[in-house]
Amino acid sequence: MFVALPAMSPETIASMFSLAIGFSFAGMCASGYRLFMRHFPSFRLLEVGPVSARFAAIPLLMFSAPYIIMRNTIRGRRSEGRRTEIVMVATVIAGLWSLMSGTVVVLALQVLLSV
């Protein structure tokens, strides 16, 4: 006997796409920064350099933060042996941040493409 599962709502599908686009855009921002600066971005960009450079780093860090959080979490788990609960909380934070930044990217694309 075959039981049909309920279909996913359009809002759920849009949220999944926003999550994926957020992580993808975060990786692209971090990789683009590394391409020009020869090292990965970090939250320390807000502490060093002149005030104008710190201010300019804010948009970069806003969109590349999910990548930075996950990279630091994975590296900390391997080298320091961080507890699984800490890794789980960091993953949830990075996922929510990615969902929000992905939503901003999707909305910006909709405005630019006038969809």
Question: Got the DSSP string for 22-53?
Answer: HHHHHHHHHHHHHHHHSS---GGGGTSS-HHH
Give the dihedral sign, CA 38/40/44/47: positive
- What is the pLDDT at residue 53? 86
- What is the pLDDT at residue 103? 95
Give the dihedral sign, CA 68/69/71/72: positive
Ramachandran region of residue 81, left (φ > 0), alpha (ψ -120 to 50) or beta? left
- What is the pLDDT at residue 115? 66
> For every one of its 115 residues, what pLDDT tens digit does the chain have, with 9 covering 90 and above?
677 777 888 899 999 999 999 999 999 999 999 999 888 898 888 888 888 888 888 999 999 999 999 999 988 888 888 888 988 999 999 999 999 999 999 999 999 998 6
